[in-house]
Amino acid sequence: MQSISGIVYLILIACLLPYLFAVIAKMAGGFKSEDNQNPRSFLANTTGLAARANAAQQNSFESLPLFIAAILLAEYMVIPQFIIMTFGIAYLVFRLLYGLCYLANWATLRSIIWLLSLLCPICLLLLVIKLTA
């Protein structure tokens, strides 16, 4: 089996990325200690930058299952490490850019980058399918 340390880092970074946007959302929304009683309600009532950061957080969590499944299946099926790492790193870069576009309120560019980030795990899964066919 291939060395999985790079794969573990990809998954770890992808799992932590939504929390970056959560922190930004709370800071931009003026989060106070008393808001910690119901932080979801607090974030649901934010506007502007805080609301966009919260949406980036939610979308980042939503994209995780597909990414993790694709990475693990590609590793399991022994897709070459450099291919897994290339698509994995590209996914992380696109997801970070996606979040930045969300924060900047650049909707069209954000949608294009979202699509590019989605294509990374899809391409890995297509390679797995091709390998098993």
Predicted TM-score (pTM) of the model is: 0.92
Contact 68, 11 (CB under 8 A): yes
Tens digits of residue pLDDT in 35-47? 788 888 888 999 9
pLDDT of residue 132: 86
Contacts of 113 (CB under 8 A, 6+ apart): 94, 97, 98, 101
Contacts 24+ apart (CB under 8 A), 65-71: 66/118, 66/121, 66/122, 67/11, 67/14, 67/91, 67/120, 67/121, 68/11, 68/14, 69/121, 69/125, 70/120, 70/121, 70/122, 70/124, 70/125, 70/128, 71/7, 71/10, 71/11, 71/121, 71/124
- Confidence at 113, pLDDT banded by 50, 70, 90: very high
Domains of the chain, residue spans: 5-132
Q: Stretch 60-72: mean pLDDT, rounded?
A: 97
Select from 106, 114, 103 the least CA-distant residue to 55.
103
Could you please state the CATH topology (level 3) that the domain comprising 5-132 is classified under. Four Helix Bundle (Hemerythrin (Met), subunit A) (1.20.120)
